[in-house]
Chain A
Amino acid sequence: MAVGEVMRMEIPSGGDMSVTSPELHVLAVDDSIVDRKVIERLLRISACKVTTVESGARALQYLGLDGDKGASVTDYSMPGLTGYDLLKKIKESSVFREIPVVIMSSENILPRIEQCLREGAEDFLLKPVKLADVKRIKELIMRNEAEDCKTLSHSNKRKLAEYIDDAPSPSPSPSSSTHDDSSAKDFPSSKQMKSADEKFSSLL
């Protein structure tokens, strides 16, 4: 489920916002069938829902059709759209930029890693990927989501109620971030329901 939906489930009337951890739905992108099989298993064992695709182009199609992806894990070196290209497209999209993206690569090239992190990648995994790696990034993603939710609960309870009512007009996004995470994430409280076509074309 998308980041926004984590909050949507959790409002008991008058109660405080406890964030349970719903299953993270991950889109795994890799041109190698062997690696797709392995990453799928790693993610399933880590209690994630998984969809695997073989290219960046396919990944964008899937996001367009079913934007309920909580995160994406992508190989760097792929023919056509590289993992970096995919990362850029996701981060440049108003609809999908909050989706955490993790890059995987068999090559330990520091400038490449830095470039991906600068572009907004959540993390960078060196292949071959192990279970400990996947568990770590899942925890990282879930923790960031929980922090985003806590931020909102402290400063935006009322705005949250409006969001829950599915009001069509966008509400202003929270201006301050109470956690000391250095990356300034702009939390999109103004996620409107867009059609699949609109979502997809925003990525092109």
Chain B
Amino acid sequence: LMTAKSLASKETVNGRCWFYSDDDDGISVYLNRELHAMNTVVAQLQTQFQDYLVSLYQQGFLDNQFTELRKLQDEGTPDFVAEVVSLFFDDCSKLINSMSRSLERPENVDFKQVDSGVHQLKGSSSSVGARRVKNVCISFKECCDVQNREGCLRCLQQVDYEYKMLKTKLQDLFNLEKQIVQAGGAIPQHFPSYTILRPDIRPCLDA
């Protein structure tokens, strides 16, 4: 039973929290409540993060390779995944620009250059687990092989859309991570097994 006298009060002085009480119980109850509140916030953020991550797999944005990348990240290298995907998005932008130039004039399309670009894009998207981007690259390569300029232009547009969409999604994911860390929590390390979420996707070797 807490009396008014024994309840601790809180004050923020110069950005720091100070707890005042004339007895220890009051302090510990107050601290426990504060900690509980903090833990609740962290727990909520962690759930939000986990749910969001799972949804990215379920919607086919990400595949198992993204899971593999997350495994390579630890407290010593907390930005590893963000750095890799950042390099990937830069790569996308650069390759899309150069392929666009190659496809520009109908009478003079350098399909070899486009094919090379698609090959690189397919490789790097595969390395980061960017599933949708990779899948567009498969169709893109087919258009290249038959020298279908219209098809290539459509695929180019689609790959541009997909990488930008993924970029936004992952930005939101990384923001959630930041919020968790700022709230004093740890990033959930449970790795959703994408084969359970999407049994229709099996890890497959490129044909």
Please give the number of chain B residues whose Cβ is less than 8 angstroms from any Cβ of chain A in the complex.
24
Does A41 contact B123, Cβ atoms closer than 8 Å?
Answer: no
Asked if A18 is at the interface of the complex by the 8 Å CB criterion, the answer is no
Asked if B147 is at the interface of the complex by the 8 Å CB criterion, the answer is no
Task: Tell me whether chain B's interface is mostly helix, strand or loop, or mixed.
Answer: helix
- List which A14-53 residues lie within 8 A (CB) of chain B: 31-35, 37-38, 41-42, 45
- Residues on B with C-beta less than 8 A from A35 are 123-124, 127
> Once A and B bind, how many residue pairs between them come within 8 Å at the CB atom?
56
- Residues on A with C-beta less than 8 A from B69 are 38
- Residues on B with C-beta less than 8 A from A34 are 84, 87-88, 91, 123-124, 127-128
A35 to B123 alpha-carbon distance, docked (Å): 8
A106 to B120 alpha-carbon distance, docked (Å): 10
Which of chain A's residues has its CB closest to B207's CB? A108
B-side interface residues toward A, CB under 8 Å? 65, 68-69, 71-72, 77, 80, 83-84, 87-88, 91, 119-120, 122-124, 126-129, 205-207
Contacts A32-B127, A34-B128, A106-B122 supplied; 15 other A-B pairs, CB < 8 Å: A32-B120, A32-B123, A32-B124, A33-B87, A37-B84, A38-B72, A45-B72, A77-B119, A127-B123, A127-B126, A128-B68, A128-B127, A129-B127, A131-B68, A131-B71
9 closest A-B pairs (Cβ-Cβ)?
Answer: A34-B124, A108-B205, A128-B127, A128-B65, A41-B72, A130-B68, A128-B126, A34-B88, A106-B123
